[in-house]
């Protein structure tokens, strides 16, 4: 499993965005570690929503800022990652138990679950095939 480090953040952002991200650490106004990702809000020219997660062993950052919206690992992603590190936290692994999802599914009634799964499986051939193979 990969580890979040400042060197990894610099690698993904590049030197310029990394150094700019260092100055934005105090601009992280929300930070939540979820089951399989981290999300937060970083204030710059506007309030930007930022997520960090692993795609297999690759760290992926997304941000609503103009630069991040183009697919770049921006200074806001760096700032969120650095605050995580400062707090002794990290980005959860991609295969972590998603307790939030499991709990939410347990709250839903049977008919709602069937409809949700049907809608997805009707559009996803591999999911449909998997469901058809299940014995239960």
pTM value?
Answer: 0.75
Provide the token pair at 74: 């921006």
For residue 58, with 0-12 CB atoms within 10 Å meaning exposed, 13-18 middle and 19 or more buried, which class applies? Answer: exposed
Q: What pLDDT is stored for residue 33 in this prediction?
A: 94
Q: What pLDDT is stored for residue 77 in this prediction?
A: 98
What topology is assigned to 6-86 in CATH? TATA-Binding Protein (3.30.310)
**What's the Cα-to-Cα distance from 117 to each of 35, 111, 112, 114, 124, rounded to whole Å?**
21, 10, 9, 5, 10
> Residue 33: CB partners within 8 Å, gap ≥ 6?
84, 89, 91, 92
pLDDT averaged over 10-residue windows placed end to end, the chain, 136 residues = 91 97 97 94 96 94 97 97 97 79 82 83 83 84
Q: What pLDDT is stored for residue 1 in this prediction?
A: 66
- What string of DSSP letters covers 49-97? EEEEEEETTEEEEEESSHHHHTT---HHHHHHHHHHHHTT--PPPTTS-
Q: What pLDDT is stored for residue 131 in this prediction?
A: 84
Residue range(s) in the chain whose domain bears CATH number 3.30.310: 6-86
């Amino acid at each position: 499993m990969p580890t979040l480090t400042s060197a990894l953040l610099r690698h993904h952002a590049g030197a310029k965005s990394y150094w700019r991200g260092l100055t934005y650490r105090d601009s992280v106004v929300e930070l939540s570690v979820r089951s399989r990702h981290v999300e937060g809000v970083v204030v710059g020219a506007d309030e930007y929503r930022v997520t960090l997660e692993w795609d297999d062993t690759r760290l992926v950052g997304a941000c609503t800022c103009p630069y991040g919206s183009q697919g770049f690992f921006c200074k806001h992603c760096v700032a969120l990652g650095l605050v995580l590190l400062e707090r002794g936290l990290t980005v959860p692994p991609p295969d972590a138990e998603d307790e939030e999802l499991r709990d939410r599914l347990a709250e839903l009634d049977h008919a709602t679950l069937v409809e949700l799964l049907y809608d997805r499986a009707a559009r996803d051939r591999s999911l449909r095939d998997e469901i058809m193979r299940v014995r239960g």
